Structure 1
Amino acid sequence: MIALLLRDLRLAVRAGGGFGLGLAFFLIVVVLVPFGVGPETALLSGIAPGILWVAALLAALLSLDRIFALDYEDGSLALLSTAPLPLEGVGLIKALAHWITTGLPLTIAAPALGFLLSLAQEAYTYLLLSLLIGTPALSMIGTFGAALTVGLRRGGLLLSLLVLPLYIPTLIFGAEAVRRGADGLDPTGALLLLTALTAGSFAILPFATAAVLRINLR
């Protein structure tokens, strides 16, 4: 499993779909928002939690189609299906590699970008915490979506259409946790629901991913 994880991390960086692309998109979205809505600090502070979470979500989408595509094209995915490691484990490792190269860098960079949107000082802790809890769910859900579209030509648009509705609960609770923290309210409920979503996705979706891969590899 560790060897597969290290291999996927190297491929993600070499293929140009790693953290650099996601971070660049994240930065562009956050920088463009003040130009679109105006420089008013009060307005930016109010919409900052939602903007940061939407930007992180869209940045995570950029590299989803690469999760299984390279392995499918060179035949590695077929070999992995016959390896001692079950496909459930393969899907889990793929999601973990995607989070390390995409979700984790976005989480680390978010506070600096929150400063550009005049995010309330009280919200920074909850921004980091919500992204740290919620972005793994984005990667696991995206891995399931990538398995559904593996082998399809130009499946990137279809993948986005399939995955985006599944991302909505994570987006809602993640942004709500940051918003409540910024307003001085207790964000515990939103964080607990976000944790439940992430735990549920990692408990269920590896099996769904493996089932879909077995169908597509027949």
Structure 2
Amino acid sequence: MDTRELIARRIAKEFEDGMVVNLGFGMPTAAANYLPNHIKVILQTENGGLLFGPKPQRGKSDPDLGNSGGEPITMLPGSSAFDLSTSFGIIRGGHVDATVLGALEVDQEGNIANWKIPGKFIPGMGGGMDLLVGAKRVIVSLMHTDKKGNSKILKKCTLPLSAAKVVDLIITDKAVMEVTNEGLVLKEVAPGVTVEEVVQMTEAELFIPDYVPEMDVSALVLA
């Protein structure tokens, strides 16, 4: 599997039965394709939908159904669609159990930068700021390094922040890291990646437990 599928499959393993989960566009939305069939999760899209499902097959999409990134989605039995004010009432009201968002950078203090690179035109923050402070749990997914091999997991973010000290878990193509009061703890490494390699490619300081397991996505049963 490619790195994006690996990340999406690992994201899906964070979901628990009955959770309301918001998936940001990009890699997070792909997690909807890998929901275990024994877990019933209510997926929320910030543009106004509850209980959406996997990406439709090619040629079977409904032009009226899309997520916040404009990607086609399916709506499951019992789903609902509503306006933005209702959607953000759900988010700001603390009714989202977890959100999964992409990032440009994240650091060991749980800060996240995911909306602006100074000097470059970017569409803007969207609903990211609301989700970061409104969701009960914040999961960030991103590639571990940029195209030049520079770490995106930093000691301190250098780009404008979207929110400060809100991140709970970081999932990359190389590792899973938990943000704690003591610092960043390495929880898992990707298949074929060693702890030493993760430490080398990470600017942030990592706490290394005695045992760091490999990510397990092989047992995922698709709905």
TM-score range normalised by the length of the shorter chain: under 0.3
Greater fraction strand: 2
Higher relative contact order (CA 8 A, sep 6+): 1
Q: Output the TM-score relative to the length of structure 2.
A: 0.22
